[in-house]
Amino acid sequence: MVSTCNYPPEEIIKPIFGKPNYEFIILWILNNNDVCTWANLKEKITHSTLSNYLSRLKDRGYIEKSTFNQYRITSKGKDRYYELSEAKQKIRKLSFPPHAILRRRNYDHWILWMVSNNNYCKWSDFSGPPLSINQSSLSKNLNSLLDKEFIRKEEKEYRITRLGKTEYSNMLRLYDLDRQSILEEESKRIKEITKSTTSFFKEYKIEDVDIKFRFLNNKLKLPYEKVKSTLNSEEEYDKILLYLSINHPDRFPHYLSPEEFSKKYDINLIKLNFIILRIVEENIFPIKFFKLDLANGKTFYFQVNEKLERMLNVIVEDHVIKFTYLNNLNEETSEGPSPLTMESTANAILEEIIENLFKPGLRSALKTFLPDYINYLAYKIEKERKLIDTFDKLEGLIWKEIQIISFSEVQEQSEKRTELSFYIDPAKSFEETLEEINKTIERNPKELDLYYIKSKILIYFDKYKEALILLDGMVKDFPESEKDLKMKKASILKRMRDLAGGFEIINELIKKYPEDSDLLNYKALWYQYLNNREEALKVIQGLIEREPNNGIYHDSYGEILMAFNDHELAIGKFQRVIELNPNSWYIYQTYIKLGICYRVLEDYDLALEHLTKGEELIDQSPGDNNTKQMWHSYAKPFIEEIKELIEDF
């Protein structure tokens, strides 16, 4: 048999310079022969060296040992062989991430993609083109991935780990990649665990296909490495995943208690309960689990984004949005209280999911579960909405000169107060507040700012129609302020969702004041509210050509781009604002919007830097305290969220 084996040329086995590459020699022999025995390989490699390298190559999945002491190269081994062959010829072809991943500056994701799609990577593969990651960022991200055990370093080569493969699979879902790409990646990982899983199913007689599917799904998403230090073996962990897969709402009323499961599958009860606690309650994995606790002590588990939860999500979201819309409709049309309450909404959800998703025996548990789930979903929707909402600078532009002092600030500013300052006491009714401002106006009937304050009070109490009537009267009494007053009227119409009415006012004013650049700025922003991207960009670009050094117009440009999800382009516009007008009254808003753009693009360090800077500048800037408080409320949730994300990374 030895005589029929193909061996590599002498220059590979005994190179003139350097040591022999035994990994390449073994792979060469196996690639150029159907099978090889130990004796075949020992012809060219010493016993101890051969033993070490065969063990290493088997662990990496490059070769496999069949019956009769025969070795074969695997498909993964062939890839490695061709890669080493290219390296011998000084040619090494690398795969690089697609544009969908590269467009975001998430260097850890770039690195994960590279080590997952190439057998190994070197420092220069990341620092050189086309990635060109700077040394500081590269070092930081590589060390972070090494600390998390997503990658390992061997002889200056970086390779992905099992834990890293799970993280990579989760990472792909964050990007706009086709479903087939994600499925192919999951299929690769399923193949890797198939052998051990098949024997596990056989040993414990698991035949239910739904349990098998849930188990595989759990195995893919909840890697053993996270709990390895607590357990004796991976088989113990597989049993715990089986427990979660068995006790699923779809299997109700069938249930295995922890005690029963512990005895049946021979696993320590304390370990079982402890790991379940860590997975479900302590969220050691980035996968959320929900629990249905029954009165008799039984608990069923299901996972976020699995089929059951996705269907539940759709039903609950539909009812919650219906509740919100109808409540808003009743407020707008003054038809009295909405026929829907949160309680009636929860009951309607319960009836629908009992009919379609869950078995009737779970009704009581679901009734207890639903309020928390609705809150979870409402928070999730609100969080996502904040990421894509535009930040209404128009309000600040139109009303910026009016200051209404909050009640809590009165003591601090009492010495500064005059007849022209006013505060809203939240303990007072609308009638009492209105009476106070009316008395102040009686003492100063020609003071325009007091009428402005009155209009803001009417808006504060949602008296929009009264505010419009007041502004119409002010136009007659103060004709020199017509443009400003009519823009405030347009702003109120926008609040009333009469965008067409507000737009009509702007066009009338532009006809009357064609050289007024601010009106064109308002028009561009208004096109944004009307969801007309093309016209919004056309107007703002024309305005910037007319006044290229006016920072507020660049800020509007950035805000419009944000509204249409062009966050990368928006960043450039906001940076230009900071260059042009670093001390402007609105600059804190620019920093916050810039930070939010970086957050959407998942560049957390820059996001935190700009959001923090913006929030620090809020109270140093002049302007309406209500507006400033609103921007505090925009910035704080993002800052808190990003700090958590950075800690997690």
The closest of 530, 604, 602 to 560, measured between CA atoms, is 530
- Alpha carbons 645 and 611: distance in angstroms, whole number: 14
* Strand spans (E) along 460-611: none
Judged by average pLDDT, the poorest of 135-144, 154-163, 219-228, 375-384 is 375-384
Per-residue pLDDT tens for 505-555? Answer: 999 999 999 888 989 999 999 998 888 999 999 999 999 999 999 999 999
Cα dihedral across residues 551, 556, 557, 558: positive or negative:
positive
pLDDT-derived band of residue 420, with 50, 70 and 90 as boundaries? very low
Proportion of the chain above pLDDT 70, given as a percent:
82
Q: Can you read off the two tokens belonging to residue 587?
A: 């600059």
Instruction: Supply the pTM of this predicted model.
Output: 0.43
C-alpha torsion 49→63→147→598, nearest 10: 140
- Non-local (6+) Cβ contacts of 320 within 8 A are 345, 374, 377, 378, 381
Proportion of the chain above pLDDT 90, given as a percent:
28
**Distance, C-alpha 560 to centroid of its chain:** 22
Cis upstream peptide for 253 (omega within 30°): yes
Q: Which value, in Å, is the radius of gyration of the alpha carbons in the chain?
A: 33
pLDDT-derived band of residue 48, with 50, 70 and 90 as boundaries? confident
> 611, 639 in Cβ contact below 8 A?
yes
Per-residue pLDDT tens for 98-131? Answer: 877 887 778 889 999 999 888 789 998 898 888 8
> 63, 57 in Cβ contact below 8 A?
yes
- Non-local (6+) Cβ contacts of 364 within 8 A are 294, 295
- Alpha carbons 20 and 11: distance in angstroms, whole number: 9
- Alpha carbons 289 and 540: distance in angstroms, whole number: 47
pLDDT-derived band of residue 389, with 50, 70 and 90 as boundaries? very low
Q: Can you read off the two tokens belonging to residue 238?
A: 């597989």
Total count of residues recorded for the chain: 649
**Distances from the Cα of 415 to the Cαs of 132, 181, 409, 421, 426, in angstroms?**
58, 67, 12, 11, 21
Residue 238 has what pLDDT? 92
**What number is the average pLDDT over the span 500-509?**
92
Q: Can you read off the two tokens belonging to residue 229?
A: 């230090």
pLDDT-derived band of residue 181, with 50, 70 and 90 as boundaries? low
**What number is the average pLDDT over the span 482-502?**
87
With 0-12 CB in 10 A as exposed, 13-18 as middle and 19+ as buried, what is 32?
A: middle
Q: How far apart are the first and last CA of the chain?
A: 54
- Alpha carbons 526 and 598: distance in angstroms, whole number: 25
